């Protein structure tokens, strides 16, 4: 059950961190409709993370060995129990297991006349690459031996299909639009695609979940992911760059410098008032 919990935390951390990142567009969207679209995207992702954290917390509380493993969170427990808030707000950076791709800021190299560090092309490309993965993963996890995870997968699949459609539509608009929109979309793709190599290297937690029939090997999804990505890139007239070199290790707790800043902002209120009831 230990590794099953770690797998749930990986999935939950992915959703929470990207939901937090996309929420940074709230009040800053390029147009009002997109401001609302990204806010709804964030709410979907944070909703997914809540269901997964709740499931993980139930398993932790039911197992003395797991409760001991999370004993360092004792001061953040509610009525002696681990909760979704404990797992989201009181674990430190190295305890998070999200893909590194999802914690990166909304920009790569900015144009010289940029007035903000929010680049919508970067946001769209990241959402596209991740949503293309999660459409396949949530679909497969509907057959998970963990009935609760299977139920989360069924609900999440409906949401991520919209996320993929939204990101794909905008990627085609950018790529097949003006010279500048094409260049910015291509730059974002060149910047972010190497981080997707982490998708295809399963962690020990993911491997153990597969052994239990609860998880799915992401490597087995790569051909379908490649087909989805290539089809949309062709419609967007974007070139898929060659990818090689270092594989990021976010799912092993080795993160970029950016996650610590994101968590500091996200967790500050809860940590300032750890016993508060809202």
- Is residue 109 very low, low, confident or very high in pLDDT (cuts 50, 70, 90)? low
Checking if the pLDDT of 1 tops 50, the result is no
Checking if the pLDDT of 47 tops 70, the result is yes
Yes or no: say if 84 and 50 are a contact pair by the CB < 8 Å rule: yes
Lowest mean pLDDT among 91-95, 108-112, 270-274: 108-112
Residue 114 main-chain phi, psi, to 5 deg: -60, 135
Yes or no: say if 49 and 19 are a contact pair by the CB < 8 Å rule: yes
Average pLDDT over residues 155-163: 98
pLDDT at 74: 65
Residue 81 main-chain phi, psi, to 5 deg: -115, 145
pLDDT at 76: 65
Average pLDDT over residues 201-220: 94
Average pLDDT over residues 185-203: 96
Average pLDDT over residues 114-118: 64
pLDDT, tens only, 52-79: 999 999 999 999 898 889 888 766 666 7
Checking if the pLDDT of 237 tops 80, the result is yes
Checking if the pLDDT of 113 tops 70, the result is no
pLDDT at 44: 98
pLDDT, tens only, 131-151: 999 999 999 999 999 999 999
**Secondary structure string (H, E, C) spanning the chain:** CHHHHHHHHHHHHHHHHHHHHHHCCCCCCCCHHHHHHHHHHHHHHHHHHHHHHHHHHHHHHHCHHHHHHCHHHHHHCECCECCHHHHHHCCCHHHCCCCHHHHCCCCCCCCCCCCCCCCHHHHHHHHHHHHHHHHHHHHHHCCCCCHHHHHHHHHHHHHHHHHHHHHHHHHHHHHCCCHHHHHHHHHHHHHHHHHHHHHHCCCHHHHHHHHCCCCCCHHHHHHHHHHHHHHHHHHCCCCCCCCCCCCCEHHHCECCHHHHHHHHHHHHHHHHCCCCCC
CATH for the stretch 2-272: 1.20.1260.10
Residue 202 main-chain phi, psi, to 5 deg: -70, 135
pLDDT at 77: 64
Checking if the pLDDT of 175 tops 90, the result is yes
Give the mean pLDDT of the chain. 92
């Amino acid at each position: 059950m230990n590794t099953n919990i770690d797998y749930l935390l990986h999935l939950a951390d992915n959703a929470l961190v990207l939901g937090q990142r996309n929420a940074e567009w709230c009040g800053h969207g390029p147009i009002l409709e997109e401001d609302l679209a990204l806010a709804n995207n964030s709410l979907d992702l944070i909703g997914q993370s809540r269901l997964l954290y709740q499931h993980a917390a139930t398993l932790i509380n039911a197992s003395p060995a797991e409760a001991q493993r999370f004993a360092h969170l004792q001061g953040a427990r509610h009525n002696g129990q681990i909760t979704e808030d404990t797992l989201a707000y009181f674990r430190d950076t190295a305890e998070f297991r999200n893909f590194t791709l999802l914690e990166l800021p909304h920009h790569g190299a900015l144009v010289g006349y940029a007035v903000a560090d929010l680049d919508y092309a970067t946001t769209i490309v990241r959402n596209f690459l991740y949503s293309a993965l999660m459409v396949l993963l949530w679909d497969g996890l509907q057959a998970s031996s963990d009935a609760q995870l299977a139920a989360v997968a069924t609900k999440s699949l409906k949401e991520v299909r919209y996320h993929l459609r939204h990101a794909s539509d905008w990627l085609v608009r950018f790529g097949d639009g003006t010279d500048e929109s094409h260049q910015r979309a291509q730059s974002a793709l060149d910047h972010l695609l190497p981080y997707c190599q982490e998708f295809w290297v399963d962690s020990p937690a993911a491997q153990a979940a597969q052994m239990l029939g609860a998880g799915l090997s992401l490597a087995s999804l790569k051909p379908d992911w490649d087909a989805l990505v290539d089809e949309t890139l062709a419609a967007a007239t974007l070139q898929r760059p060659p990818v090689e070199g270092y594989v990021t290790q976010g799912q092993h707790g080795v993160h970029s410098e950016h996650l610590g800043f994101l968590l500091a902002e996200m967790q500050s209120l809860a940590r300032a008032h750890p016993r508060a009831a809202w």
